[in-house]
Amino acid sequence: MRLTVPVLIAHGRYGRRMGLGPESRINMLRNILTGLVRHERIETTWARADEVRIYAEKLIDYAKKGDTDEKAMKMASFWLTEKDLVHKLFKVLVPRLGSEQRGYTRLFHIPNRDSLDRAKMAVLELRGNPFPPLVTRQPDSDGSLLNQLLRGYREEETQSRAAGGD
């Protein structure tokens, strides 16, 4: 008796299945993308955020062609389930992201979900949004422990070189 394990072969398909059928998967991605355009920052599982990020980047690339472009309008009306957001995409987000060539979104890891599945969570946001930044760079201050230790080490080294050199 031969035991085989079914292998999922891609055959030209790309993207995650996420346990859904193709139509449910597309509808879920459309809803998340609509939320991203509406709120400009969303919290979801890491796999979903990583997948939606691809489509958000492509949608903004198409939107940069302008609202007179037929294909850009078709893409926007398909991916955005709330039609009032089409205006926001073309008139608010595209001018704000106009200077960017690529990378219109940022993806940050946040702590795992506390429920039973412990799913990896992430925050997906559009660049230039009006919210305070999630990650702030803290300047190195002279009072930090690391800088004090380094200063003490340098002083000891200079003293030992001065004493050894005499």
Q: What is the pLDDT of residues 80-128, one digit of tens each?
A: 999 999 999 999 999 998 888 888 999 999 999 888 788 899 999 999 8
Between 98 and 50, the higher pLDDT residue: 50
Of 15-19, 59-63, 121-125, 145-149, give the lowest mean pLDDT range: 15-19
- Rounded CA-CA distance 157/101 in Å is 48
141 phi and psi, to 5 degrees?
-105, 160
- Rounded CA-CA distance 109/124 in Å is 9
> How wide is the angle at C-alpha 112 spanned by C-alphas 137 and 39, nearest 5°?
65
- Ranges 2-16, 24-38, 124-138, most confident: 24-38
**Tokens 């979903």 — which residue?**
48
- Say whether pLDDT at 134 is over 90: no
Q: Give the global pTM.
A: 0.72
Q: Once rounded to an integer, what is the mean pLDDT over residues 152-160? A: 93
Q: Strand pairing partners for 107?
A: 124
136 phi and psi, to 5 degrees?
-110, 140
Share of the chain above pLDDT 70, in %: 85
Position 33 scores a pLDDT of 96
